[in-house]
Structure 1
Amino acid sequence: MSVCLIRNVRLWIEAEPVLSDVRIQNGRITEIRPAEGTGLSCSDADTVIDGRGLLLIPGMIDVHIHGADGFDMMDGTLQSMDAVSRACARTGCTSFLATSVSSSMEDLLGMLASVAEYSGQETGARVAGVHIEGPYLNAKRKGMQNERYLRHPDANEMAAILEHAGSLIRMVTLAPELPGGMEMVSFLKERGIVVSVAHSDATYEEAKEAFQCGASHVTHCFNGMRPIHHRDPGIVVAAFEERHVSVQAIVDDVHLHPAIVRMLYREKGADKMVLITDALQAMGMGDGTYQFGGHRVTVSQGVAKLEDGTLASSTVTMNEALAKTVRAGIPLRDAVRMATETPADVLGMPAKGRIAPGMDADLVLMDDGFNVIWTMVDGHIVYSSEHE
């Protein structure tokens, strides 16, 4: 039996953060008690951690990340997977979806094989599965996706991919207005896969049809889709009207204006708004030139662009996205929920994203500047700023 006691941390028990103690046994939270008075006994604890009055939040979950620290998960190597796992942990993320870009079938299958082999060997954040972004995307809204590989939805091809991947695939982003798109939405929904809409020129009516067919998510909302117009409301307004639809937000002060972040929050609420990074390999690396999705990408002042000026993913981290969301005017408790509980619910991971008895001990200790002090996965610290 392994018992860990975390003492003197701020966490939400009711309406406000309360100084508390948290008991963990065999990787799960077993008890929480206010630190005032007696607190929790440490007599049976193998490890006691002093939280120093800092904020303890659930481990963040990134449902959309392509790479980090100079590594792209489309490389199809265990080294790339491990680099991203470690980078996620360093930034307060404890679970992530390895996310593809539109590519050759060979490269996609290679990426899936590397994820399958790496799962269970993580040294940092856990791999929660795969998010396939493309190739069933609309060239008109391709963004940085390589048009060479874009094609119409093909049920036979997807069936072959699923047979190869087993249960790894948790989310697929597609353009439902393409020929075969609505059928693909239903095909994936029937198999328990989250169907997300983006890189799409769907009209309001087409988006509503997709949401009725089983699509329930919008990838990097506002980006890579038909914009809102007062006579042509498009995907975003359709998503606002469908209560079951959740939306991703890249809160990096580039992809979304803070006023749009606030609007998303007002329209969808903390339970349907998901913070993501959409990070490429430049995350954690700084400015420079990179290869991503078959393109030359230049990062300048943290902004990644193709040679024609098109935005090419992001370099933001989850803890930075959390900080920027709060600075945009979102209450801290709700911002935390968007990075933890809501993505856990989207992916159907009931033991993640919350601090409560019975939940997995995936936890992050942060200071008031949203810097990560340490990250814990399954009750074990996998990153500590004090040991860098």
Structure 2
Amino acid sequence: MKKSPNQPHYFIPQPLDNKRLAHLCGPLDENLRQISSALDVTIFRRGEKFIVSGTNAERAVAVLERFYTLADKPVSVENVQLALVEQRATASIDAELDAADIAVDKKDKTEIESPVLKTRKHDLRGRTPHQSQYLHAILEHDITFGVGPAGTGKTYLAVACAVDALERDAVQRIVLTRPAVEAGERLGFLPGDLAQKVDPYLRPLYDALYDLLGYDRTQKLFEKQAIEIAPLAYMRGRTLNHAFIILDEAQNTTPEQMKMFLTRIGFGSKAVVTGDVTQIDLHHGQKSGLVDALNVLHDVRGIAFSRFTSSDVVRHPMVARIVDAYEAVSAAGSSHNAHNAHVTSTTAVKRLSQGLTQSAKPRNAKK
């Protein structure tokens, strides 16, 4: 018999091992606090018995069971948070399929096998179903769009794919670019040479490379010109053959810039475009090249589109909640604006019809 969501769930570690129990709870029960906060449940421990209450109590017990089996060594807060990301994303996929009334085997919908990427520092795989789908799309298509909120791994995974391709000699170089919107693309007014002018705007790409390859290896590849980072404005007029090209922060491109970038791709090249359509920094009234491309290219063969949600955020659990809160306000605002637009248009039609009726009357007509 299935328990009511309001009924408490219990977890008793088997076999009992005090060392594993201590590793599971973490210093000062920090791991329990992270699980409780992320899943919005209450976890009460009485000796070796855990009492979990809340809507997501069953999910919390599953997380506790999983970590107890892995707790032969200390469990870090980072490991707990990453596991919660995977669990949250899997639950989100389940909810989407259930809402659409799609009958899919549980294993098929929760265990999407992720490609393993080889980098100098460590192997990498997708942690959520959407991330795994994204990696498959990049490997199987010449052009891939990754669209979603910040912290979902769009850029990091794209850079990891580029590094993997370079290490396998599948490409000869990596080209990373993003629009320097904050500088208004007027880089000539900034002090220093080109690298110094654009460095602050390209820093996230450097960070990903250093994390995947290490500082020394990254610097050597820069010296050999096997890796190039440049603002989007400097891509015009080039043809990039045998390269892995990544356009980051694509929501801040114009349609003309997006077309210019996509037409730089030469033979043996692969391109990934990443962006978040909710964080557009263009001047008011300017159309986003990413939004335009999603509408124009959705039926073009050879182009893949991967979309992420807040359930894919691989950062502190609070980040996912923040994204959800802003999306809820944005959705409410869109609904309100649509209602106002309908009222305004209806009023305008009434006024227009009244004006036409009055103008049709003879000037000397009696009221």
Tell me the TM-score normalised to structure 1 length: 0.28
Task: Kindly name which structure, 1 or 2, has the bigger radius of gyration based on alpha carbons.
Answer: 2
Tell me the TM-score normalised to structure 2 length: 0.30
More helix as a share of residues: 2
More strand as a share of residues: 1
